[in-house]
Structure 1
Amino acid sequence: MAPEKPTLYLLDNFHPEVIKYCEENFTAILPGTPEHANWRQDARFLLVRSSRLTAEDIQSCPKLIAIGKQGVGIEKIDAVACSKQGIEIFNTPGVNARAVAEMVLSLTMAVAREVGRINTRQTQGVLVPKETCSGLILSQKTVGIIGMGNIGKIVAQIFRGAFDAEVVAYDPFLPLDAWSDISHTRLSSIPDLLKVSDVVTIHVPLTENTRNMISLSEFQIMKRNAILINAARGGIVNESDLEIALRERLIFGAGLDCHEEEPPSKERYEKLWELGVVSTPHVGAATEQTQIETGTTAARRVLEFYQTQAQS
């Protein structure tokens, strides 16, 4: 007789391959089914992708013991409330690193060659003679990486390989021998990194310490032909100060995959877009392969937790 499957409530829509994995390994309760309405009262295991789980949500789940979270960020889940109730959170660090790193490359190239500004003008019906365009060459430039985790490391490898770039990096938490296999210079402060970087790319979580990490005072330090990329979290870059920096030409341009408002609206971001900001709606991990891998990994971690609990 086959062992009874654990019941898993899926709070969001997932790739069909992820749902297939869940249905093979769990009794999967999908959104829209009658049973799903009772997830707060009944769920022991949840799988989430983008849903927000507040402290009130957590407190209303008396049976909940584990949450699988597709992706790295857990800022939409009240981790303090989960900790108080002994609820485990299983996210998927590292699984989406390659996809996000490639997005950083895409944004950087688009900013460097003014794709955002040119595309905006053309879609408005404006003829753009090539003589009016003047982008940047990235070969042998310096890329500054804030945050030396899984994504930052792949970004370093990509820029070394594609552009023979000099790599400088800042991370106060990793040991000094981190990235021993990548030629780079470890700097001791963000200002030191900003002063020397032609491309600055951010790979840290949004915390009270990192909120508004890049504001007007930081833009004033940067090179006038520097490019800023944020594919981490909205709120790390002060968007009002970014607009000032671009208007005053303190930096060359910026690429944002993450915004304070997501998805970004024309009402809020039109001024930045007119200034040439290349903006995408947090799609760094939005490839089919990555969606399958991250969703399946989150579900598998919940299953492994269940199996460990069952054996103890």
Structure 2
Amino acid sequence: MADTNPLKIVHLDYIHVRPALTFNFPHIYTEYPTSAISEVPSRIQGADVIITCRVPITTAMLDSCSTVKMISAMAIGTDHIDLQTCKERGIVVSNVPAASNESVSEHAISLYFAVKRNVVRCHNTLLAGDGEEWLRRGTSIGFFASGMPGTCKDDTMAIFGAGELGNRVAKIGSALGMKVIFAERKGVPVEEVRSGRVEFVEACKTSTVIMLTCPLNASTANMIGAAEFAVMQKNTVLINVARGGIVTEEDLVDALKSGAISGAATDVFMEEPAGKNNSVLVREAANLEGKLTLSPHIAWFATSSREKLNRVVASNIEDFFKGTPSNTVI
């Protein structure tokens, strides 16, 4: 940047990652624990750089502030930022590649086991009736909603999203004894399927574990819905550590209720934070007999993730100040 005035930096939601960021150049840094959408326009007035983890940055917000030159996503995902508007206005958008792959991949596998082994339902059933349920039944076999589970060696895991996260999950799955395949993008004709990939519908049909690790964009929105659940095996489990909106949530609930698939777990939701008022998954989870396991977008949470997010966001903004933007999305 040619301008020698202090760079005005506004961090809209530091609550997710602490401590505060530091920079080695003249700047004015303002941070907020979180920001409601209605608060954003006033908070970004005069800002050169906006830092956001999950607060949406829309065209309307950018219309209210003509000074914005850079948006730094404190995450790998940028689907909450209007990238087209940023591109048209020459606003640099950066992210943190592979921000939390170690943590997310491990959480994905923990969700797989939670569903496969029905951990939450077993816990809740054991505590039911003042802890007498096991004694009353005489066996704990009935704690499983979907019957006797298989083991890892019986599973074929189809990974939808072959980036760094997908590949890390693949290594763990292979180490556990699963057969691992990578699904081709939805809609790609059979004759155009890339080497090392399995055609999308075929992957849905032949796998027993659907692992979603892809970004949310126009091509992946509602990628998994009623048509996909209809061709899956009845013992399939679906794990989503990618983004809400990739799975049509109402269709997932229907698939679990009808027995089209045996279980699912998600760390992400169409609308976040999620609750009974805005999420069919939260509303229906208690009625699904342990078939659905939920976690509150926490897969990324680990010491290594926090350190990388802070380090790379600070570096991205430093590089922008020097006139050599890094980790740019646009």
1:258 and 2:268 are equivalent in the alignment: yes
> For 1:241, what is the secondary structure of its paired residue?
helix
- CA drift of 1:205 comes to 2.0
Q: In structure 2, which of residues 136, 143, 156 is the aligned counterpart of residue 142 of structure 1?
A: 156
Q: Aligned equivalents of 1:214 and 1:120: distance in 2?
A: 29
| Structure 2: runs of 5+ lacking an equivalent | 34-39, 326-330
Retained in 1: the 8 A contact 2:41–2:64?
Answer: no
Deviates more, 1:227-236 or 1:8-17: 8-17
Residues 35-78 of structure 1, C-alpha deviations (whole Å, 9 max, x = no match): x9964332111211121211111122222111111111112211
Q: How is 1:158-307 mapped onto 2 (pairs within 5 angstroms)?
A: 158-161=172-175, 163-172=176-185, 176=194, 185-187=196-198, 189-267=199-277, 268=280, 269-275=282-288, 276=290, 277-307=292-322
**TM-score, length-scaled by structure 1:** 0.84
Retained in 1: the 8 A contact 2:159–2:211?
Answer: yes
Retained in 2: the 8 A contact 1:10–1:31?
Answer: yes
1:102 and 2:106 are equivalent in the alignment: yes
| Structure 1: runs of 5+ lacking an equivalent | 178-184
How has the CA–CA distance of structure 1 residues 253 and 28 changed in structure 2, closer, same or farther, with 3 Å as cutoff?
Answer: same
Q: How is 1:32-47 mapped onto 2 (pairs within 5 angstroms)?
A: 39-47=43-51
Q: Aligned equivalents of 1:227 and 1:29: distance in 2?
A: 44
How has the CA–CA distance of structure 1 residues 176 and 217 changed in structure 2, closer, same or farther, with 3 Å as cutoff?
Answer: closer
How has the CA–CA distance of structure 1 residues 140 and 79 changed in structure 2, closer, same or farther, with 3 Å as cutoff?
Answer: same
Q: Aligned equivalents of 1:191 and 1:38: distance in 2?
A: 47
- CA drift of 1:274 comes to 3.0
Q: Considering only aligned residues, what root-mean-square deviation do their CA atoms show, in Å?
A: 2.8
Deviates more, 1:166-175 or 1:65-74: 166-175
**What amino acid is aligned across from residue 317 of structure 2 in structure 1?**
V
Percent of aligned positions that are identical? 26
- CA drift of 1:20 comes to 4.4
What is the number of residues matched between the two proteins?
A: 295
Q: Aligned equivalents of 1:37 and 1:210: distance in 2?
A: 30
**Equivalent residue number for residue 181 of structure 1:** none
